[in-house]
C-alpha cells in the first residue's frame, strides 16, 4: 500500500505548473479586460472623488402632519435608494437625519443632474386624461409629430403608443390636434363624443362636461401658461388636488414645450407594481416600457383606457404626471385589460430606462422640499487617502523587512504572492466599477490595507508548518507536501472567520462601512485563491531547486539553523525464542 501512496504524492507534486499557469492566465485575462473596457482605475467614492450632497425636508399635506413618521421616512429612503440605483449610481448614500430630513450623497462621475432630478422629484405620480394640448408659445394649430420620441428627461410626446399584453401593440393615431373637448367622468354618460374639434385651442366652456371641469379660471390659466419659462413651469398646477383638473407642461420629441389641460387623476403611482425598459426586437419602435399594475390598479387602468379609446386625439391620450410635469402622454385605441401595458415610441435606451424608473419608484409617501444642494470636494478625502496610503506603505515595508530577515529566501515567495494578490485586487476592483457600480472610498482602502496582514498571515502559517517538518528531520520536498494539509486547514478556518465577519458587517451596516466590509471580504477570498494556486505550487517548484533543496543557509530552510534532529528510526525487537513443545 505504501508504493501507490508514494506514487500519488509524486503525481501531485509534478503538476504545480498547471496551477501557476491558471492563475497567471486569470491575471492576464483580467488585465486585458480592464484595458479593453477602458476602465484602468478603480471608481472612487464621494469622499475621494467629490460629488453632490442633497438635503431634502419632508412636508406633510395640510391636516396630515402625523404622516411624517419613521415608517414613511424609511419607505421614502428605500424608494430614493432604488431611484438612484436605477440610474446605475453606486456608493450613493441615502439616510435620514433627524425626524424630517433625508440626506442624499451622489458621488462624482455619475450623471448627478439626472440623479438630482430623480431624487428631487418627490411629488406623487398620477395618470391623468389629456383634455387639450398645444405647443406652448407657438401656433395654436401646430400639430405634434405622429411618431413618439423620448428625451433624456422623460418622454413627453403625445403619440407614444400603449398596448396590453396579450393583445399586442396598437398603432398610433394617424393625426393629432391641439383642440379638444374636456374629458371627465361624464364620459360614462356621454359615450359618443363629437368627432369634430372645436376651433378654439382651449376647451369649450359649453356643455356639462366642459362646464364642470374646464372652468373659466382654468382656461385663463391655460391661456397665460408659457411653458418655455422655467419659473412658470415650476409653478404650473401648484395647489391642484388629484381630484381636480389642472394645467401642466411637458416636452415633446422636438424639444418643444407643450402645455396641457388635464383631467382628474384616474390612476395613482402606487398602482404601478413594476415597470421595465425592454428591447423589443419584433417592434419597429425598438425600446419599449412595460408596466405591470396591481390588482386594483389594473382595474382602474382598464377603465380609464376604455373611456379614452372612444375619443379623438388628443383626448385619447393619458398623461403620466410626475411633480407637476408631463413625462409621457401615450395614446390608446382600445381598453387595456389584464393588468399589463406597454408604452412604445422612438425611445432610446436611456429615455426608456428613465421613464421606467419614474414609473417604478415615482410614488413617495411624503412630499419633500429641496433645502440645499452642495458640492463635496475631494480635498479632505485626498489628504486622508494620502495619509492612509503612507501608513499602508510603511506597514508593508515593515512586513517585507521582517520576511527578509526571518525567512530569507522564503521571503521571495511571500513577496511574489503579495504582488499577485495586489494585481488581482486592483484589476477586479477596476472592473467592478462599471459592472456593479463599486466605488472605492476611504473605508474600502482601509479594508485593502488590513488584507495585507491577512494575506501575510497565511504565508507564515504555511512556512512555519514546513519548517516544523524539517525540524522533525524530513527533507524539504516531503516536508512541503506533509505540511500542506495541516496548513491548509488552519488557513481555511482563519479566512472563513474573516469572511464571515466581513459578510455580517456588510449586511448590518450602511454607507461607507459597507465599502470596508466588501473590500475585506473580497481580499479574503483572493487570499485563498493566491495561497492555493500560487504560493503552494511555487514553493513546490522551489523545493526542487538546488538552492532550497540543499538547505542553503540563505534559503530560510537550513536544517542546522532550524535545529533539526535526526529522524527517529524504528527497530524491531528480537522475538523471544519459541520453545518447542513435545506431543
What pLDDT does residue 172 have?
32
What pLDDT does residue 190 have?
37
User: Would you say the C-alpha torsion 74, 77, 83, 89 has a positive or negative sign?
Assistant: negative
Distance CA 396, CA 383 (A): 20
CA distances from 90 to 28, 55, 112 (A): 27, 18, 12
* Cβ-proximal residues to 156 (8 Å cutoff; 6+ apart), any chain: 250, 251, 252, 258, 325, 326, 327, 328, 329
Please state, as a whole number, how many other Cβ atoms lie within 10 Å of the Cβ of residue 355: 29
Please state, as a whole number, how many other Cβ atoms lie within 10 Å of the Cβ of residue 374: 11
Distance CA 144, CA 157 (A): 8
Backbone angles phi, psi at 461, to 5 degrees: -60, -45
All domains in the chain, ordered by first residue = 13-45+378-562 (1.20.1640.10), 51-122 (3.30.70.3220), 124-363 (no CATH)
Dmax (CA) of the chain:
140
Give the distance, in angstroms, between the CA of residue 333 and the centroid of all CA atoms in the same chain.
Answer: 37
Look up residue 439 and give its DSSP letter. Answer: -
Cell numbers describing residue 111: 450623471
Beta-strand relationship, 246-251 and 325-328: parallel
Q: What is the pLDDT along the chain (583 residues), one digit of tens a residue?
A: 444 444 444 444 457 888 899 999 999 999 998 888 888 888 777 777 777 778 888 887 666 677 788 877 876 777 777 667 655 555 567 878 778 888 887 766 556 666 666 665 555 688 999 999 998 865 433 333 332 323 223 333 333 334 433 223 333 333 333 333 333 333 333 333 333 333 333 333 333 444 444 568 888 889 889 998 877 887 787 778 888 899 999 988 778 899 999 999 999 887 888 888 888 777 666 788 898 998 898 999 999 999 899 998 889 998 988 767 888 888 888 888 888 888 887 788 878 877 887 787 666 667 777 787 777 676 656 677 777 778 878 888 888 888 888 888 888 898 899 899 989 999 998 898 878 777 787 888 888 888 888 888 888 899 989 988 888 888 888 889 999 998 999 999 999 999 999 999 888 876 677 788 888 999 999 999 999 999 999 999 888 888 887 778 888 787 888 776 665 555 555 555 545 445 4
Identify the CA nearest to 62 among candidates 241, 235, 244. Answer: 241
Identify the CA nearest to 180 among candidates 154, 144, 151, 148. Answer: 144
The DSSP H or E segment spanning 291 is: strand 286-293
* Cβ-proximal residues to 559 (8 Å cutoff; 6+ apart), any chain: 470, 471, 551
Distance CA 102, CA 82 (A): 14
Cell numbers describing residue 353: 430606462
The SS3 of residue 342 is strand
Amino acid at each position: 500500500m505504501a508504493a501507490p501512496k508514494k506514487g500519488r504524492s509524486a503525481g501531485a507534486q509534478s503538476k504545480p505548473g498547471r496551477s501557476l499557469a491558471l492563475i497567471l492566465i486569470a491575471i492576464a485575462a483580467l488585465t486585458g479586460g480592464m484595458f479593453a473596457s477602458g476602465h484602468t482605475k478603480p471608481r472612487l467614492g464621494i469622499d475621494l472623488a467629490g460629488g453632490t450632497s442633497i438635503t431634502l425636508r419632508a412636508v406633510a399635506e395640510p391636516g396630515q402632519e402625523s404622516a411624517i413618521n419613521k415608517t414613511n421616512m424609511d419607505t421614502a429612503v428605500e424608494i430614493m435608494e432604488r431611484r438612484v440605483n436605477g440610474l446605475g449610481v453606486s456608493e450613493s448614500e441615502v439616510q435620514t437625519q433627524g425626524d424630517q430630513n433625508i440626506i442624499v450623497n451622489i458621488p462624482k462621475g455619475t450623471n448627478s443632474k439626472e440623479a438630482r432630478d430623480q431624487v428631487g422629484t418627490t411629488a406623487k405620480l398620477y395618470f391623468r386624461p389629456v383634455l387639450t394640448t398645444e405647443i406652448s408659445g407657438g401656433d395654436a394649430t401646430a400639430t405634434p409629430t405622429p411618431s413618439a420620441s423620448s428625451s433624456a428627461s422623460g418622454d413627453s410626446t403625445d403619440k407614444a403608443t400603449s398596448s396590453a399584453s396579450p393583445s399586442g401593440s396598437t398603432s398610433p393615431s394617424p393625426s393629432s390636434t391641439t383642440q379638444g373637448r374636456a374629458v371627465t367622468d361624464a364620459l360614462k354618460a356621454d359615450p359618443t363624443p363629437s368627432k369634430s374639434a372645436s376651433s378654439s385651442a382651449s376647451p369649450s366652456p359649453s356643455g356639462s362636461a366642459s362646464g364642470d371641469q374646464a372652468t373659466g379660471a382654468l382656461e385663463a390659466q391655460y391661456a397665460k401658461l408659457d411653458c418655455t419659462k422655467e419659473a412658470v413651469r415650476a409653478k404650473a398646477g401648484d395647489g391642484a388636488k388629484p381630484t381636480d383638473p389642472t394645467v401642466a407642461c411637458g416636452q415633446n420629441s422636438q424639444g418643444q414645450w407643450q402645455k396641457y389641460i388635464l383631467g382628474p387623476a384616474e390612476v395613482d403611482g402606487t398602482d404601478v407594481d413594476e415597470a421595465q425598459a425592454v428591447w423589443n426586437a419584433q417592434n419597429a419602435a425598438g425600446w419599449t416600457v412595460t408596466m405591470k399594475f396591481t390588482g386594483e390598479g389594473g382595474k382602474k387602468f382598464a377603465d380609464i383606457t376604455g373611456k379614452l379609446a372612444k375619443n379623438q386625439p388628443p383626448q385619447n391620450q393619458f398623461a403620466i404626471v410626475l411633480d407637476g410635469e408631463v413625462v409621457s402622454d401615450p395614446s390608446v385605441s382600445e381598453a387595456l385589460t389584464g393588468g399589463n401595458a406597454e408604452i412604445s415610441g422612438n425611445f432610446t435606451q436611456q429615455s426608456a430606462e428613465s421613464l421606467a424608473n419614474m414609473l417604478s419608484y415615482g410614488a413617495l409617501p411624503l412630499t419633500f422640499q429641496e433645502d440645499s444642494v452642495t458640492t463635496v470636494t475631494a480635498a479632505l478625502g485626498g489628504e486622508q487617502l494620502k495619509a492612509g496610503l503612507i501608513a499602508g506603505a510603511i506597514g508593508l515595508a515593515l512586513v517585507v523587512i521582517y520576511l527578509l530577515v526571518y525567512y530569507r529566501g522564503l521571503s521571495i515567495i511571500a513577496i511574489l504572492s503579495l504582488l499577485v494578490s495586489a494585481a488581482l485586487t486592483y484589476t477586479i476592483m477596476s472592473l467592478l466599477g462599471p459592472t456593479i457600480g463599486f466605488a472605492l472610498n476611504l473605508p474600502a482602502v482601509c479594508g485593502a490595507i488590513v488584507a495585507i496582514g491577512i494575506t501575510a498571515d497565511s504565508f507564515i502559517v504555511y512556512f512555519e508548518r514546513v519548517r516544523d517538518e524539517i525540524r522533525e528531520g524530513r527533507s524539504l520536498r516531503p516536508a512541503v507536501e506533509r505540511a500542506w494539509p495541516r496548513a491548509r486547514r488552519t488557513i481555511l478556518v482563519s479566512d472563513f472567520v474573516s469572511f464571515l465577519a466581513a459578510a455580517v458587517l456588510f449586511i448590518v451596516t450602511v454607507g461607507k462601512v459597507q465599502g470596508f466590509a466588501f473590500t475585506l471580504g473580497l481580499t479574503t477570498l483572493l487570499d485563498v485563491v493566491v495561497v492555493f494556486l500560487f504560493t503552494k505550487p511555487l514553493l513546490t517548484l522551489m523545493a526542487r531547486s538546488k538552492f532550497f533543496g540543499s538547505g542553503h543557509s540563505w534559503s530560510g530552510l537550513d536544517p542546522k539553523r532550524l535545529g533539526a534532529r535526526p529522524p527517529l528510526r524504528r527497530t524491531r525487537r528480537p522475538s523471544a525464542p519459541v520453545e518447542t513443545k513435545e506431543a
